[in-house]
Structure 1
Amino acid sequence: MTAELRSAKKVIHNEELEQLINNVCNTFVNKLEVKFDKKFAKLNDKLSEVTDSIKGLNESVKSNKQEIQSVITTTKYLELSNKRNTLRFHGDPETESESDLNSLLSIIGNTMKVRCVQSDVDFLYRLGKSTESNRPRSIIVNFVTNIKRNEVYAAKRLLKNSDISIFEDLPKNQYELLLQAKKKYGKRDAWTSGGKVYVLRNNKRCVINSINDL
């Protein structure tokens, strides 16, 4: 066998071997692609399930937030409704010789010039426990009608030079908001009406709904 023939056979053999290797590699790669395609398909399915689940949770959270906000709004409304006939008196001295009711009726009638009799008052009570402090406890007064309550509250200006002051009986969050408003704008330029907090800003009356409005 000549050298040229041996060389030709070697070339043919190498080409066949290379072709065989390529075929094996292509077959292996195709199998891997099919396998990975199936894996990715399953992962995509699971990802879709997770995405749908997260979407459902987000919708549920959103719905719950709306329900919670609705409950909060309703609670605030009920709190204000329960306090719509109520006023808070500060500064009335505590004495053993005179009942709180008679003392308040005297203040309302003589100082505030509003006709108010015992039958106009549903109930009243002092806040907190009795102490030896010289500072009298505030009195919560619930009037029978909102009309009488508003009549008394409208006359609070007549208490300006006395030790007595009147405030609306507010829910805790509104009371804290009022304190912050008074701290920033001053006692005379921050007040409440109908359970809402107002301030005088640039000579204009503004409603304060939250701390962010200050």
Structure 2
Amino acid sequence: MQEEVTAFSINFQKQLNIIRKELQAVSDNVLHQDERIDELEQYSRQNCLLFHSVAEKPGENVTDAVLKIMKETLQINIKQSAIDRTNRIGKPNIFAAQAINEGRRQIIVKFVSYQFRSKVFHAKRALKNTPIIITESLMADRQRILKSTKEKFGPRSCWTQDGRIGVLHTNRRFYLSSMQELVNIQ
């Protein structure tokens, strides 16, 4: 009887180890698929930029407001046909007139081509002494990575480029797309 129990236990351990290996393989596959989905979703935002702190006006034409910023502040003459769509993100709070005046709702701008988007993104330095900020449209996970990177290395050492988070550390440039990559930087 003892021999049967021992044989059963050994066989059970072997089967358990096989199941653990299979489970690890499935887990690794799911992780890889999650990373690919994140990359694809970020890629779908490649022609988008976010405009922050643009004062909101009742009945405004958001596209006209963005084109005015580009022409007058950025000194870029882009036609309306270069913009696919623009809109404010989120619902307006009709009880918070101050929030509307301060432009707390971001504007997302989707350009018809990466070329136009890149032209605007590279000209954003002209906004240095204004309240307006232009950023890339990042997925939520990448926003968290960017925030953690800024906390770890300081905001002057971090930037975004085509959906990847860049960091300058020990005179080397690193490009991150996952929290694990941030953890691995020594």
| Class of the TM-score when normalised by the shorter of the 2 chains | 0.7 to 0.9
After superposition, the CA RMSD in angstroms is: 1.9
1:135 paired with 2:102, answer yes
**Given that residues 48 and 110 in structure 2 are in contact (C-alpha distance below 8 angstroms), is that contact kept between their aligned partners in structure 1?**
yes
Alpha-carbon distance in structure 1 between the residues aligned to 2:170 and 2:8: 60
Deviation beyond 6 Å, 4+ runs, structure 1: none
Match of 2:154 among 186, 190, 207: 186
Q: Offset at 1:213?
A: 4.5
Q: Offset at 1:68?
A: 0.7
Moved more, 204-213 or 168-177: 204-213
Task: Report the 3-state secondary structure (helix = DSSP H, G, I; strand = E; otherwise coil) of the residue aligned with 1:123.
Answer: strand
Question: Residue deviations 1:112-147, cap 9 Å, x none?
Answer: 122311111111211111122243111111111112
Task: Report the 3-state secondary structure (helix = DSSP H, G, I; strand = E; otherwise coil) of the residue aligned with 1:128.
Answer: coil
Segments of structure 2 that go 5 or more residues without pairing to the other structure are: none
Q: Offset at 1:97?
A: 6.2
Question: Residue deviations 1:13-72, cap 9 Å, x none?
Answer: xxxxxxxxxxxxxxxxxxxxxxxxxx2331232023202220221122112112211220
The AA in structure 2 aligned to 1:135 is: E
> Mapping of 1:49-88 within 5 angstroms?
49-88=11-50
Aligned to 1:122: 84
Aligned residues: 176
Q: Offset at 1:170?
A: 0.5
Q: TM-score, normalised by structure 1?
A: 0.75
Alpha-carbon distance in structure 1 between the residues aligned to 2:150 and 2:73: 25
Q: TM-score, normalised by structure 2?
A: 0.85
Distance 1:204 1:60, change over 3 A: closer
Moved more, 166-175 or 118-127: 118-127
Query: Taking CA–CA contacts closer than 8 Å with sequence separation of 6 or more, which of the two structures ends up with the larger relative contact order?
Result: 2
Alpha-carbon distance in structure 2 between the residues aligned to 1:130 and 1:98: 13
Segments of structure 1 that go 5 or more residues without pairing to the other structure are: 1-38
Asked which structure has the greater CA Rg, the reply is 1
